[in-house]
Amino acid sequence: MGISSTLFFSIAKLWNLVPAKLTIVVVIISFSVGKIQPFSTFPVYSHIPPVSEYYYMTDEKDLIIPIALKFDYDGGSLHKMIEYRYVQYSKTYGDPEILNKVGLETLDYLFETFAITSETVSYKQIKIWNAKVKMMNDQIVVVHKEIAKMQVL
Amino acid sequence: MFKPDIQKFSEKEWKTMRILFGIFWVHGIVNIITNFSSIPVPRGWALIIDLSFLDTIPGKSIFILVALLSVIFYVKNAKMIYVTGLMFLIGICVHTYQDSQATDIYNEIINLVVLGQFLAFSYCRYFKRSAGEDVVINLVIHNSKQAIIACYLIAAISKLSDAGLSWIIDAPNLSVAIYKMYMHNYVGLLSPELLSTALAYSTFIASHPLLIQVLFAIVLLAELLGIVALVNRQLSVVVGIVLIALHFGIAYFTGIHFDHFVVLLLIFLVNIGYVVNLVLIFSKKVLSSDKSS
């Protein structure tokens, strides 16, 4: 018997001793490939920073547009869309220029998907805002910043 | 020593699991297909494969029809290699489609369970031809449990690699994350209740840091030690109940829900169908003994 076949049988014997093989294989592949179905690293709140943020939309008077009621869309999806589009340009989060670009792209998508025109909505302008949230002395503090705006034609 | 054994299950238990999982799976698939009609942020396989056929009525109809047919065969326990293989492919496409809606549902666990079952059927078919039906059933359920446990283990390792033990120390930061989560809903609906709930949860978390840290420590420990569920049936039920209790605890204190994880734990770890069956048999016996006395 050659060295290679001996080695193969030794590895096979060792592998037979490994408990929960499928679990181990899934763990190894998941950390190797990242998020691609059916694998994921399940980073559910795996890092909880002291500052968090969300996005929302307003009209030209800076009044919040209830996007779920008006466009059947929600704040979570708006946030994820901006976040995923952002990482296509940069891995360092927070660049105002990229945020503006991504905000405009998102508005483009929303205008097209929900057929937003002066005939379908009463707004003259739609803006996307970023809100940064932090805790100070057990009180929530929120800082708002406009990232992009688009005229309704 | 940690020694996971493949536990023995009856055909009745497997049938109950098939029915419950089949309904859960097809309900999710149909729900996703009917709820969305575009691919705003392609992710995962959607970057490689064009999934736009799921935007079309014929594409949606074909997928729903095939998913329903697959589940009928699945519940009937017929052609399982092909059926679980097909369910896996449908799941990959449809859940990638869902991921591409800019959502993070962590639905991978469902496809991993189906993959585990497919691998078990294939292994028995091609490598253990002499295996009886009971051996196949036991391996299929064992693989389903392994897939679920793997997800919890991965989540624990992610926490430890991303934040280390400071994940527990930083737990009170959850107050801002929870506030954000509620604000996502608030900016959609402008419902004042959502704003007050957001403030109530975040203030509660910020003012009870120790409680949240203890809860987080238990979560991490349960995720890491969940693998003992593979040792025997009793531990499987115990781990299942502990993890479900944690999910409910987290939902109660923070408002974060992972309902599909709870359903899968109930079906495969707690074996809820079997437990309900036992309770029914027991109550029937009690009733009949009452009548005879």
**pLDDT tens string B176-185:** 998 998 999 8
Q: Say if residue A60 is in the same domain as residue A90.
A: yes
Structure tokens at B44: 């995962």
- CB contacts, 8 Å: A35 with chain B: 43-44, 99, 108
Question: In this predicted structure, what is the pLDDT of residue B37?
Answer: 85
Residue B154 has pLDDT above 70, yes or no: yes
Distance CA A123, CA B83 (A): 51
Asked if B32 contacts B99 with a C-beta cutoff of 8 angstroms, the reply is no
Q: Is the pLDDT of residue B291 over 80?
A: no
Quick: pLDDT tens for B34-55. 998 888 888 899 999 999 999 9
Distance CA B201, CA B183 (A): 12
Q: How many separate domains does chain A show?
A: 2
Query: CB-CB: which of B116, B162, B258 is closest to A46?
Result: B162
A-chain residues near B161 (CB < 8 A): 46
Residues A55 and A10 in one domain: no
By three-state DSSP, how is residue A144 classified? strand
| A83 and A103 share one domain | yes
Q: In this predicted structure, what is the pLDDT of residue B2?
A: 53
From the list B2, B154, B177, the residue facing A41 with the nearest CB is B154
Residues A107 and A62 reside in one and the same domain = yes
Q: Decide if B102 and A45 are in contact by the 8 Å CB cutoff.
A: no
In this complex, the residue of A19, A35, A47 whose CB is nearest that of residue B4 is A19
Q: How many CB pairs under 8 A join A and B?
A: 196
Q: Which residues pair with A145 in a beta bridge?
A: A130
Pair (A34, A82) in one structural domain: no
Show pLDDT as tens, one digit a residue, over chain A (153 residues). 677 788 887 877 777 766 788 999 999 999 999 999 999 999 888 888 899 999 999 999 999 999 999 988 888 889 988 988 898 898 888 888 999 999 999 999 999 988 999 999 999 999 999 999 998 887 889 999 999 999 999
Identify the pLDDT of residue B189: 92
Cβ separation A113–B96 shorter than 8 A: no
Which stretch of B46-55, B56-65, B224-233, B279-288 has the lowest confidence by average pLDDT? Answer: B279-288
Is the pLDDT score of B13 beyond 80? yes
* C-alpha distance from residue A84 to each of A88, A90, B206 (Å): 7, 10, 29
Domain ranges of chain B: 10-149, 163-287
Query: Are residue A78 and residue A133 in the same domain, yes or no?
Result: yes
Average pLDDT over residues B95-115: 92
Average of per-residue pLDDT across B261-274 = 93
pLDDT band at B87 (very low <50, low <70, confident <90, very high): very high
Asked if residue B3 has pLDDT above 60, the reply is no
A32 and A88 together in one domain: no
Are residues A72 and A26 located together in one domain of the fold? no
Domain region containing A98: 51-151
Give contacts of B 261-290 with A, CB under 8 A.
none
Same domain, A107 and A147: yes
- What pLDDT is recorded for position A17? 66
Q: Tell whether B166 lies on the interface with A, counting CB pairs under 8 A.
A: no
Mean pLDDT of B77-97: 96
pLDDT tier at B128, thresholds 50, 70, 90: confident
User: pLDDT of B212-262, one tens digit each?
Assistant: 999 899 999 999 999 999 988 889 999 999 999 999 988 887 777 899 999
Q: What is the mean pLDDT of chain B?
A: 91
pLDDT tens for B112-126 read 999 999 999 999 988
CA–CA min distance A67, chain B (Å): 5
Contact check, Cβ <8 Å, A36/B45: yes
Q: Is the peptide bond before A38 cis (omega within 30 degrees of 0)?
A: yes
- Quote the pLDDT of residue A1: 60
Identify whether the C-beta of residue B67 lies closer than 8 Å to the C-beta of residue B30: yes
Quick one: pLDDT at residue B253? Answer: 74
* Prediction ipTM score: 0.89
Q: How many CA atoms lie within 13 Å of B64's alpha carbon, on the beta-carbon side?
A: 15
B12: enclosing H helix or E strand: helix B11-35
> Looking at the structure, do residues A71 and A120 belong to the same domain, yes or no?
yes
- Residue range B195-218: mean pLDDT, rounded: 91
Q: What is the dihedral of CA B185, B187, B191, B192, to 10 degrees?
A: 110
Nearest residue, CB atoms, B154 vs list A27, A56, A74: A27
Residues A55 and A40 in one domain: no
Q: Which residues contact B29 (CB under 8 A, 6 or more apart)?
A: B63, B64, B67, B90, B91, B94
pLDDT of residue B232: 86
| Interchain CB contact of B2 with A (< 8 Å) | yes
User: Same domain, yes or no, for A74 and A143?
Assistant: yes
